[in-house]
Structure 1
Amino acid sequence: MEVAATYLVAAFACALAAVYLRLPPLVGFLVAGFVLAALDVPYLEGIDLAADLGVTLLLFGIGLKLDVRTLLRREVLFTSVAHMVIFTVLGAGFVKLLLLLGLPGLGSVTGGGALAIAFALSFSSTVVVIKVLEERGESQAFYGRLAVGILVIQDIAAVVFLAASEGHLPSVWALSLVLLWPLSLLLRRVWSHLGHGEMQALFGLLIAFVPGYALFELVGLKGDLGALVMGMLLAHHRAASDLGRQLTNIKDLLLVGFFLEIGLAGVPSLVDLAVAGVLLVLAFVQGWGYALLLRLSQITRHTTSRVGLAMAQFSEFGLIVTAVAVEMGLVEERWLTIIAVAVAASFVLSAAANRTESHADRLSLLLPPDPPVDRLHPECRPLALEGADALVLGMGRVGQGAAHQLLDEHRLHVLGVEQNPDKLLALAKDGLKAIEADASDITLWDGVVDHPRIQLVVIALPSHEVALDILGQLRQRDYTGRIAAVARYPEHETELRAAGADVVTQIYGGAGAQLADDACTPSPG
């Protein structure tokens, strides 16, 4: 119990320091791992299991939101494969260059070893990227869907690599996994009768860990891939979003173990730190590679810069590839510590770079100009804002309620902005006009300023940081209309008002006021 208490104190203290420095808590968890390793604190049994369970739930949650058609899109498939091949070749050349320059601490690295190291670093971290997207509430934005699609292709490549490195194919029983599709139809019916309480949460855990993780491991496939597949099979169920929210806190707590374990990989020497620092150059190459390859699909600078910045880090899978290379005698064992430090450091840099979307806006200015409008990717073309008096950003329950009130009571022509294309048809059936767009896209705000009829913008987004960025974009363009926003907490309300919001309503306080008004209104008849 003393060891567990030590881990908890270290994790909380370092995460608190990270938050104080305006960095995500995961940076603190990574630092805590290195501190515990440096102090030679005994290894906490079960932390590896917590890490595996956290990653499994993370991938199950991705599956619940993923449209399998995304994986087959040219911009996803081409970018994933081309990036992996090009980065591996360039990365191997970079490692060989460091050897020629005589950088200390590299040891002996064969040609195959250089390729293995570069391949290990060619993957982006699913855990970090998804946390960035979830914190912004943009996993269903166009750039979020592109990033998730590329990550899934990388996970499939990881499965192929592990099967090849172990020298045997999955069991023939893996073919029986096709039966999961008819099973999913039965599971959907069971799910529909569970309600929204603890039974639904328990159902999600059961599906992720049993037919997902355990069954896939049993037939020789990666268990977390199984969780992803089960999530995809159950996606589009009407309660999928609700289940994802229920599992979020459980997943986040388990992922603390994942980040601690990265830091516990070993105590690096000064030479290891220096080599890892040099390798971080490849993390920047990683991000630029994604952005430039996506530009070949005629996707705007706004979108490609966000994909590139979100994915500009190394992956925990790199440690597995490096371990295989060590076993095969391609590189020396010290490379495990070097790669672990490089992975952890890339997580820290990624967290800092993605703290605000303004960094992506600055990166976009360095990319080639956008092509003519008629050649742009269909999801990047200018938005039709004509005829709108009011714009509602985020068409969740709060956004829909605001849109109906503006439409029915105030007789305004309302246009909703929603990043999830699957919602548009349901909104239309409900009598609400909405377009698919990324609310943080600067071209959207250029269009708003160019349409002086739009005199009201309602920000009903789940991410406080994105709301602040949007307020900054509007004020930077001297928008003269009124801006309303919703906040969850009093401190968020203060920050939104300071950023330029004319009206801010706390979600729960506003609901209470509406309830009181309804209670005091006599019922008709």
Structure 2
Amino acid sequence: MLELIYFCSAFVCGFVLLQLRLPPLIGFLAAGFILHSVGYRTTASLEIISSLGVTLLLFSIGLKLQLKTLAKVYVWAPATLHILVCTALFSAIILLFGFFSLPLFTGLSLENSLLIAFSFSFSSTVFAVKVLEERGEMASFHGKLSIAILVMQDIFAVLFLAVSTGKVPNIWALALLAALLLLRPLMFRVLDKSKHGEMLPLFGFFFALFIGYQLFEFVGLKGDLGALLIGMLFASHEKSGELAKSLLNFKDLMLVGFFLTIGLNAALSGEVLFAAILLVAILPLKVLLYYLFTSIFRVRARTSLLNAFTLSNYSEFGLIVCALAAANQWLPSQWLAVVGVAVSITFIIASPLNTSSNRIYMKIEDWLLKYQTKRRLAVEQEVPLHDAKILIFGMGRIGSGAYETINRHYPGIVTGVDISEESTRYHRQLKRSVIIADATDPDFWQRINHSQVQMIMLSMPKHIQNVLALEQLKASGFKGKVAAIAGYADQQAELEKLGVDSTYNFYLEAGSGFAEHVTEKLFDHTDLLP
């Protein structure tokens, strides 16, 4: 019964924040704080729902993550440097707070400060994925970079937990890993046989929660890491994207429980709130370090900034560290509340920050470009448009279909643009003219010469992507025609208000397209005339 009250409260608060054009997750956090203030506390059932959501989240990340990404120097080097430098810097600041006899900081030893600093060096995987998915940027380069850095942090987290708890993998750990690699072809076959209905999400639940979480816990490995690794095993399968989509609503609903538990577990007091605010005040240093370390390894200024904004928060992992430290009497129990409040505040700050990330970049772009390294990563090199007269942004099913139709009637005048390196590579193998670029990137529109382009078609899957791309398109001075897809009538109205010449509702107009196909293929329409 309590869980029903909690989720209803989350809906009300999330709905209010959504009407204010703020991310609903801020409302979920607020609901937890409000419920805590009137005497409610988290329940065992809500904790289970929260844990299931995090496990499914990590499994979904694994489905989209290529192992070779972690081997890139611009991933593991910034991630490692950030944890080391951030821990040392934050530890020094915490000791400085203690030197001035600030509440809860007084009496902390060097070991205490290093432990707290280490827990605050991590960023939240849950928050980052939520933000990237809402903006349709999971496949973007900065999105992949953020996720890869978070996976590296998860590896550090596993090592820490293994050392601090004395929990080391048992003799069955290597056997499990070897068995999974050997059985991978069989697992692929089971996925193929699961088809497209309700068996597909059940397949995901089975492999994420049982094979991934429970079996890895049994052999002495972290269960969440197991879910991530199992997802990575399926990443190369052609149905990995469909599997991730089938779990999306389950995952999102359960993650509401995660955000509720943060607020419900935060015991507020004057000292706790003061200490949390002090730690939030040094968050910009963490964001700056993310930007500097990725920039050093030749990542473009905008990519570095958006990556830093995505990771501009403290992590729920800090709660795990402090809970472990409090249980072993390494830290006063009040620090668990401090971390909970600090994590919540950074989520509230980071949400609108990420929403405005492109606008912020455009305001400071000239200054950032002065310090951008001259050499570019191969994935961020400029690509010419050649002689394209029509550009299609978003080469998914709709974009690919539009490309084929136009190219069949007017060969050589259309070029596709996609945010995903894997998608771009796939289309090029099919001899399609496709370039990799981010339509929401202001730099992209400034670097290209679109004077010869007569029409732009926006067919990206997320409505917000098409809206942001349209804003950049207008700012670049494009004079041609613009068409865009939408899933709902209100989205069509918004696009038309922003100046789109033609909108296509792919749900409503799918039937007419089907009818035209049948008319063309199966009979001569003149036979139906009276």
Deviations 1:11-43 (A, max 9, x none): 111111221222111111111111121111254
TM-score, L = length of structure 1 = 0.95
Q: Distance in 2 between matches of 1:167 and 1:194?
A: 40
Q: Distance in 2 between matches of 1:285 and 1:40?
A: 36
**Aligned residue for 1:144?**
143
**Aligned residue for 2:295?**
295
**Cα shift at 1:366:** 4.9
Distance 1:60 1:116, change over 3 A: same
Distance 1:363 1:168, change over 3 A: farther
Q: Distance in 1 between matches of 2:319 and 2:361?
A: 28
Distance 1:500 1:128, change over 3 A: same
Q: Distance in 1 between matches of 2:41 and 2:295?
A: 48
**Aligned residue for 1:367?**
368
**Aligned residue for 1:503?**
502
Pairing 1:480–2:479 present: yes
Distance 1:325 1:366, change over 3 A: farther
Q: Secondary structure of the residue that 1:315 maps to in structure 2?
A: coil
Q: Decide whether the 8 Å contact of 1:113 with 1:325 is kept in 2.
A: no
Pairing 1:358–2:359 present: yes
Matches within 5 A, 1:401-480: 401-411=401-411, 413-448=413-448, 450-480=449-479
Counterpart amino acid of 1:206?
Answer: F
**Aligned residue for 1:378?**
378
Matches within 5 A, 1:182-201: 182-201=182-201
Matches within 5 A, 1:111-260: 111-176=110-175, 177-260=177-260
Distance 1:364 1:331, change over 3 A: farther
Q: Decide whether the 8 Å contact of 1:390 with 1:412 is kept in 2.
A: no
**Aligned residue for 1:334?**
334
Distance 1:366 1:113, change over 3 A: farther
Q: Decide whether the 8 Å contact of 1:109 with 1:330 is kept in 2.
A: no
Q: Decide whether the 8 Å contact of 2:95 with 2:105 is kept in 1.
A: no
**Aligned residue for 2:262?**
262
**Cα shift at 1:372:** 6.6
Deviations 1:273-322 (A, max 9, x none): 22212211232222221111111111111111110111100100001112
**Cα shift at 1:271:** 2.8
Counterpart amino acid of 2:180?
Answer: L
Q: Distance in 2 between matches of 1:43 and 1:444?
A: 47
**Aligned residue for 1:317?**
317
Q: Decide whether the 8 Å contact of 1:132 with 1:354 is kept in 2.
A: yes
Any gaps of 5 or more consecutive residues in structure 2?
525-530
Q: Distance in 1 between matches of 2:253 and 2:295?
A: 37
Distance 1:108 1:332, change over 3 A: farther
**Cα shift at 1:429:** 4.1
Q: Secondary structure of the residue that 2:391 maps to in structure 1?
A: strand
For this pair of structures, how many residues does the alignment match? 522
Q: Distance in 1 between matches of 2:61 and 2:155?
A: 14
Q: Decide whether the 8 Å contact of 2:295 with 2:372 is kept in 1.
A: no
Q: Distance in 2 between matches of 1:274 and 1:467?
A: 42
**Cα shift at 1:263:** 0.8
Q: Secondary structure of the residue that 1:486 maps to in structure 2?
A: strand
**Cα shift at 1:363:** 5.5
**Cα shift at 1:371:** 4.7
Worse overlay, 287-296 or 495-504: 495-504
Q: Distance in 2 between matches of 1:240 and 1:226?
A: 17
Q: Distance in 2 between matches of 1:45 and 1:125?
A: 22
Distance 1:109 1:329, change over 3 A: farther
Q: Distance in 1 between matches of 2:486 and 2:213?
A: 38
TM-score, L = length of structure 2 = 0.94
Q: Decide whether the 8 Å contact of 1:385 with 1:447 is kept in 2.
A: no
Q: Distance in 2 between matches of 1:24 and 1:155?
A: 25
Worse overlay, 70-79 or 23-32: 23-32
- Percent sequence identity is 37
Matches within 5 A, 1:48-67: 48-67=47-66
**Aligned residue for 2:14?**
15
Q: Distance in 2 between matches of 1:42 and 1:341?
A: 15
Counterpart amino acid of 1:296?
Answer: I
Deviations 1:430-451 (A, max 9, x none): 3421112222222221234x23
Matches within 5 A, 1:342-353: 342-353=342-353
CA RMSD between the two structures: 1.8
Q: Decide whether the 8 Å contact of 1:84 with 1:123 is kept in 2.
A: yes
Q: Decide whether the 8 Å contact of 1:34 with 1:267 is kept in 2.
A: no
**Cα shift at 1:386:** 1.7
Q: Distance in 2 between matches of 1:18 and 1:288?
A: 28
